[in-house]
């Protein structure tokens, strides 16, 4: 009995040693050398592993950056320009400074503007609620108010306003990681350029219904009337699917569209002065009057030339 136990121990020990040696040599044989710069870049990154860069985590980002050899398609929104400069230094390349982004809630359907037509008593989740039906109001495109975006944010940049029932973004905490964008089933959250000194103008609505239907569901809805598009002299506004959109790359922050919007769907934020609607409307009217006078003068100048040609003919 004792000899059996001893032999069993000896055999298992020998087998363990043999397998260990085999695994060691196999590991040595098939070992993949990893670029040490991956570790350097990973240590430089914030370590949030939020996925805002489009990769599974910071190490995956570092690995992709080293393999690419440049940062043309990589960006860490959490670390920002300073971190990206350090990463570029490790790779020995240059990085184009990306414009800082911030999450923007494109829904202004407050409790007052969007009257409830039913009550939801299920699981408090926008994803679940969206799968079951359109929402508590007549607007099928607006915020569902369950706070999935708040739960998704790792940086505490989002909170629900009990007065409006809408999420609020704390710009000082937002890293533009995009988790809130992915968490919203209605796609009302967008990452937009922060703009100079944080100033920006955007359409706070995504309702694609026609004007009368959208306005009936929400008093603050964009009705796709096109007034903003006609007012903008910079070509920054387009109307698609009955809703306006402002291109931040073309917007000059003149706020004329905001002043002319009949429903207040266009919002300007972080401007040092309040919107002077009457002053802006007067400026637009004067500009149109001058344009009309110039067109009239041009037409009058052309008429004598036309008559002269007719007489010569």
Tens of pLDDT, residue by residue over 65-79, are 888 888 877 888 888
The CATH number that domain 36-91 falls under is 1.10.15.40
Residue 244 contacts residue 214 (beta carbons within 8 Å): no
pLDDT tens digit sequence for 254-270: 999 999 999 999 999 99
Average pLDDT over residues 276-285: 95
Work out the pLDDT band at 1, boundaries 50, 70, 90: low
Average pLDDT for residues 129-147, to the nearest whole number? 93
Mean pLDDT of 13-40: 80
Looking at the chain, the domain(s) classified CATH 1.10.15.40 span: 36-91
185 has pLDDT over 70: yes
Tell me the average pLDDT of the chain.
Answer: 89
Residues of the chain within CATH 3.30.70.20 domain(s) are 101-269
208-248: pLDDT as tens digits: 999 999 999 999 999 999 999 999 999 999 999 999 999 99
| pLDDT bracket for residue 313 (50, 70, 90) | low
Assigned architecture for domain 101-269? 2-Layer Sandwich (3.30)
Total residues belonging to the chain = 313
Write down the pTM of the prediction: 0.78
Q: Which residue has the higher pLDDT, 10 or 137?
A: 137
| Interval 173-179 mean pLDDT | 92
- Residue 308, pLDDT score: 55
Residue 310's pLDDT is 55
Confidence of residue 311 (pLDDT cuts 50, 70, 90): low
- The confidence score (pLDDT) of residue 228 equals 96
Q: Which residues fall within 8 angstroms of residue 37, CB to CB, at 6 or more apart?
A: 62, 66, 90, 91
Residue-level pLDDT at 230: 95
Return the structure tokens found at 209.
């219904």
Band of pLDDT at residue 155, cut at 50, 70 and 90: very high
Residue with the bigger pLDDT between 25 and 197: it is: 197
Task: Judge whether residue 303 has pLDDT over 80.
Answer: no
């Amino acid at each position: 009995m004792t000899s059996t136990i001893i032999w069993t121990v000896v055999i298992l020990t020998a087998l363990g040693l043999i397998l260990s040696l085999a695994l060691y040599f196999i590991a040595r044989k098939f070992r993949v050398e990893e670029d040490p710069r991956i570790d350097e870049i990973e240590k430089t990154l914030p370590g949030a592993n939020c996925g805002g860069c489009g990769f599974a985590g910071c190490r995956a980002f570092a690995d992709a950056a080293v393999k690419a050899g440049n940062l043309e398609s990589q960006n860490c929104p959490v670390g920002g320009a300073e971190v990206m400069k350090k990463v570029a230094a490790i790779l020995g390349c240059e990085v184009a400074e990306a414009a800082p982004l911030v999450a923007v809630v494109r829904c202004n359907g407050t409790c007052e503007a969007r009257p409830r037509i039913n009550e939801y008593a299920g699981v408090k989740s926008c994803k679940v609620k969206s799968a079951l039906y359109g929402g508590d109001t007549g607007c099928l495109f607006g915020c569902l108010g369950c706070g999935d975006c708040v739960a998704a944010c790792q940086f505490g940049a989002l909170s629900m306003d009990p007065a409006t029932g809408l999420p609020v973004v704390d710009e000082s905490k937002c890293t533009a990681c995009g988790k809130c964008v992915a968490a919203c089933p209605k796609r009302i959250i967008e990452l937009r350029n922060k703009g100079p000194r944080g100033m920006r103008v955007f359409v706070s609505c995504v309702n694609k219904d026609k004007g009368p239907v959208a306005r009936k569901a929400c008093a603050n809805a964009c009705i796709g009337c096109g007034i903003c598009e006609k007012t903008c002299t910079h070509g920054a506004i387009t109307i698609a699917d009955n809703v306006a959109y402002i291109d931040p790359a073309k917007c000059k922050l003149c706020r004329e569209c905001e002043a002319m919007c009949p429903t207040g769907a266009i919002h300007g934020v972080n401007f040092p002065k309040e919107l002077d609607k009457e002053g802006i409307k007067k400026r637009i009217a004067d500009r149109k009057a001058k344009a009309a006078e110039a067109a009239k003068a041009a037409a009058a100048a052309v008429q004598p030339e036309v008559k002269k040609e007719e007489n010569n003919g």
